Amino acid sequence: MTWNIALADLDLGQAEEDAVLAVLRSRWLTSGEVTRRFEEAFAGQVGARHAVAVSNATAGLHLACVVAGLQPGDEVIVPSLTFVATVAAILYAGAKPVFADIVSETDLTVSPQSIAERITARTRAIVPMHYGGYACDMDAILALAGKHGLVVIEDAAHAPGASLDGRGLGTWGRAGVFSFFSNKNLATGEGGMLVTDDDEFARRARLLGSHAMTSLTWDRHQGHAWSYDVTEVGFNYRLDEIRSAIGLVQLEKLERNNQRRRSLTGLYHRELSIEGPGLGLPFVKHRGQSAGHLMPILLPPGKDRIKFMEHMKSKGIQTSIHYPPAHGFSYYRVAVEHQSLPVTEDVAAREVTLPLHPLLSEAQVGEVVAAVRAALRES
Ligand SMILES: *Cc1c(COP(=O)(O)O)cnc(C)c1O
């Protein structure tokens, strides 16, 4: 289906094409200079000491869980209102996800209060997720982590370039993980980045993400090493030079495109707040500078969401749901026991995500808003 107004779109152009061609012509496709430059530039942009490029954020989250030393039996507190990969990564490490609720219908990030209620003697880590690029309450989460000796790993998949009190999201915890999947704010197709200020964490992430080999192909190519040892079971979670080249160009556009997303979000909020009570608008007032990744609304209680989305579709406008909560999926319902999550359940049943991307025009936002109004009357 070709949409009149798509949910997401990519700001790709000649610069990305040139960058990819340059890599192909260099005849060095992975673990090289371009990836190293992408890592350095990304670390600089988010304000982290180290950045380790990974093949996708799911791999990066898994790597962070392993490097953090999570073991079978360890409990890890995570929101249920997230993409399922956040939770799967905890299971890969053999640890036990414990679902926490979100704050409220105006703040869809994980609730520190709910996290506190779930801390037990077995809790080892917290994995907050910056929903839509909006900051979790990191002061409260770090305070809990400090008090109970827990590791914090931020799922910052939505939040490259976002900040709270001037500090980049993804740099608050022991590690933060970003996604460069093709619908994210910085897109390379597949790809991701693990950032940390901890030298040892970065060294271990780099080692384990590259087969736990003590020397790299690049070093051998450069004549720095003849052989290597393997000291534990590693993974291949590397990013290649082609994607890194796209990432370097996309990184240059990030700030401008995030600004555009924030500006369009402001327009949506102003237009839709006229709808008055009933229609929920999360994050209208929120601390920090968001990455404006998603534009969520909450339908009035009792509205038929499928009918609403069908109406939008009939106008050629693509909408989505972020997210079907993880605890409701058939595997997770059985595999992960959970306590009640009333706010998550209420919000997840009413949430609809509207189109938001840097190429969207003000006029298109106007079209979407008009369609929302009509759909609310008719659904
Ligand atoms: C996209 C996403 C991921 C997974 O990212 P990949 O790079 O596709 O593995 C994880 N968590 C959240 C919240 C996401 O939106």
CATH number (domain holding residue 341): 3.90.1150.10
Q: Is residue 3 part of a domain?
A: no
Query: Are 71 and 206 in a shared domain?
Result: yes
Query: Are 198 and 316 in a shared domain?
Result: no
Query: Are 237 and 262 in a shared domain?
Result: no
Asked which of 230, 251, 272 is the last residue of a domain, the reply is 251
- Ligand 1: which residues within 6 Å by Cβ? 56-58, 82-83, 85-86, 129, 155, 157-158, 179, 181, 192
Count of the separate structural domains present in the chain? 2
Asked which of 251, 282, 304 is the last residue of a domain, the reply is 251
Query: Atom 2 (ligand 1): residue with closest C-alpha?
Result: 157
Asked which of 251, 269, 286 is the last residue of a domain, the reply is 251
Q: Is residue 236 part of a domain?
A: yes
Query: How far is ligand 1, taken at its centre, from the CA of residue 217, in Å?
Result: 28
Q: For ligand 1, pick from 83, 129, 185, 190 the residue to mutate: most ligand atoms within 8 Å of CB.
A: 83
* Ligand 1 atom closest to Cα of residue 60: 9
Query: Are 258 and 242 in a shared domain?
Result: no
What is the torsion angle, in degrees rounded to the nearest 10, for the CA atoms of residue 317, residue 82, residue 85 and residue 146?
150
Range of the domain at 333: 254-378
Query: Are 287 and 172 in a shared domain?
Result: no
Query: Are 271 and 227 in a shared domain?
Result: no
CATH number, domain with residue 136: 3.40.640.10
Q: Is residue 190 part of a domain?
A: yes
Query: Are 134 and 160 in a shared domain?
Result: yes
Kindly give the confidence (pLDDT) of every residue in the chain, 379 residues in length, as a single tens digit, with 9 standing for 90 and above.
899 999 999 999 999 999 999 999 999 999 999 999 999 999 999 999 999 999 999 999 999 999 999 999 999 999 999 999 999 999 999 999 999 999 999 999 999 999 999 999 999 999 999 999 999 999 999 999 999 999 999 999 999 999 999 999 999 999 999 999 999 999 999 999 999 999 999 999 999 999 999 877 667 777 777 788 898 999 999 999 999 999 999 999 999 999 999 999 999 999 999 876 689 999 999 999 999 999 999 999 999 999 999 999 999 999 999 999 999 999 999 999 888 999 999 999 999 999 999 999 999 999 999 999 999 998 7
Cβ neighbours for 253, distance < 8 A, ≥ 6 positions apart: 11, 358
Contact criterion met (CB below 8 Å) for 283 and 290: yes
